[in-house]
C-alpha cells in the first residue's frame, strides 16, 4: 500500500543524507543552482571522467546513481532529453530549501519552489497527486518548515525510481559510459548540475509563516 511505500522511501533516503551533505559544495559551485550551461557536462566528464566500474555501480539503485556527482549530472542530461528534468530540479530545489538558514528565509524560498513546480499554473509543474499538492499548499499556509515539501519530494523520487531511472539504464548514453565506448562525453545546449538525492527525516521544529499569492 501507499503507506508502506512511503515508509520504504523514507528509510532509503535517510541513509543518503550524510553523503549528500558532503557533496553539496561541488554541486553548488555555480550561482545558477539549476542550470549547467553550454557544454559544462562534457567538460566535467572530460576533465574527470568516471571509471567504467563507477558508472556500472550507478545501476545498483537510484540512490547509488544520485550519490555520485557525475552520475547526477549525466542523469539530468538524460532527463533533459526526455523533457522531464523538472523532476530532478524540483528535488534539488527542495533539498537546498531544507537546509535554508536562517529559517526566516524559508518562506520566500518555499513560495518560489511552489510557484515554479507545484502550483496548478506552474510552467514546470511536477507530477504529484492532487492530494499531495493540496496538503503541501495547506502546510505552507500554516507553517513553513524543513518538512513542508516532504511528501511531494518523496513522490517525485518514487516516480523517477520507477519510470525514468530504468529507461536511463537502458539508454545508449549509459551504455557508452559503462563500457567506455564513447570517444567523447555527451553534450547538449543546456545542462544542469545536480544537487542532492536525499531526503532525510525532517525536523518540524522552527517554522515561519508563508503567504501565497
Query: What does the pLDDT look like over 156-175, one tens digit per residue?
Result: 999 999 999 999 999 998 99
Assess contact for 67 and 20: CB atoms under 8 A.
yes
* DSSP three-state, residue 163: helix
pLDDT higher than threshold 70 for residue 210: no
Query: What does the pLDDT look like over 95-125, one tens digit per residue?
Result: 899 998 888 899 999 999 999 999 999 999 9
Residue written as cell 503541501?
Answer: 136
Name the pairing type of β-strands 36-37 and 190-191: antiparallel
Mean pLDDT of all residues belonging to the chain: 75
pLDDT higher than threshold 90 for residue 46: no
> Which pLDDT belongs to residue 137?
94
* DSSP three-state, residue 14: helix
Instruction: State the Cα–Cα distance between residues 136 and 109, nearest whole angstrom.
Output: 14
Please report which confidence band the pLDDT of residue 4 belongs to, taking 50, 70 and 90 as the band edges: low
Q: Where are the alpha helices (DSSP H) in the chain?
A: 2-14, 17-27, 40-47, 52-57, 62-66, 69-81, 85-98, 106-113, 130-142, 150-159, 165-170, 172-179
pTM: 0.66
Lowest mean pLDDT among 63-77, 125-139, 193-207: 193-207
Amino acid at each position: 500500500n501507499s503507506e508502506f511505500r512511503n515508509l520504504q522511501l523514507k528509510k532509503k533516503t535517510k541513509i543518503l543524507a550524510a553523503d549528500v551533505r558532503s557533496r553539496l559544495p561541488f554541486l553548488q559551485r555555480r550561482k545558477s543552482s539549476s542550470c549547467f550551461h553550454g557544454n559544462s557536462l562534457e567538460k566535467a566528464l572530460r576533465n574527470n571522467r568516471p571509471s567504467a566500474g563507477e558508472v556500472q555501480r550507478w545501476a545498483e539503485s537510484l540512490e547509488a546513481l544520485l550519490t555520485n556527482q557525475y552520475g547526477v549530472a549525466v542523469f539530468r542530461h538524460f532527463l533533459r532529453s526526455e523533457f522531464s528534468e523538472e523532476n530532478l530540479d524540483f528535488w534539488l530545489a527542495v533539498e537546498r530549501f531544507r537546509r535554508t538558514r536562517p529559517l526566516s528565509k524559508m518562506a520566500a524560498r518555499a513560495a518560489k519552489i511552489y510557484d515554479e513546480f507545484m502550483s496548478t499554473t506552474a510552467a514546470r509543474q511536477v507530477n504529484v497527486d492532487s492530494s499531495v499538492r493540496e496538503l503541501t499548499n495547506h502546510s505552507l499556509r500554516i507553517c513553513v518548515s524543513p518538512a513542508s515539501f516532504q511528501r511531494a519530494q518523496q513522490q517525485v523520487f518514487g516516480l523517477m525510481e520507477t519510470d525514468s531511472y530504468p529507461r536511463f539504464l537502458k539508454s545508449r548514453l549509459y551504455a557508452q559510459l559503462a563500457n567506455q565506448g564513447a570517444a567523447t562525453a555527451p553534450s547538449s545546449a543546456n545542462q544542469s548540475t545536480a544537487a542532492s538525492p536525499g531526503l532525510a527525516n525532517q525536523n518540524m521544529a522552527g517554522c515561519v509563516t508563508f503567504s501565497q499569492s
